[in-house]
Amino acid sequence: MIDVTDLHKWFGDHHVLRGITLHVDRGDVLVIIGPSGSGKTTLLRCLNRLEEYDKGTIHIEGRTSGLPPRYPSDPCRNRVRLPEDQPVSHMTALENLIEAPMLVRKRSRVEAETPSP
């Protein structure tokens, strides 16, 4: 489960994320669409703690994501995966999707392919 409340991010004078609030339950699929420069990647980077946000809260599976960016023991970092801009071309779509659970969470291929309850 992911809960984001009133998330804001500025780059200088540019207010990229303007009070984003969202809730995603386990098993839900969320698609983020919008024009180039609208903050899609910035939101994902904030969720994954690759980017510091300026205001708001992020809770992932009940845990607050509040440590500095790139802090290796942040419990939320292993729960959210920022996909590459381009899938790895020599891999199938499924292989691209299960790569993160296998590498980050040390799941077997069968576990990574099995939907969460």
Angle at 35 (CA atoms; ends 29, 40), nearest 5 degrees: 45
Q: What was the pLDDT predicted at 7?
A: 95
Query: Are 91 and 115 found together in one domain?
Result: yes
Residue pLDDT, tens place only, 46-84:
887 778 899 999 888 777 765 444 445 555 555 555 555
pLDDT in tens, 80-101: 555 555 556 677 877 877 877 7
Output the pLDDT for position 47. Answer: 83
Q: Is 78 among the domain residues?
A: no
CATH number at residue 17: 3.40.50.300
Global pTM reads 0.61
Residue 40's region, left for phi above 0, alpha for psi from -120 to 50, else beta, is: alpha
Q: Which domain holds residue 88?
A: 83-117
Give the distance, in angstroms, between the CA of residue 40 and the centroid of all CA atoms in the same chain: 10
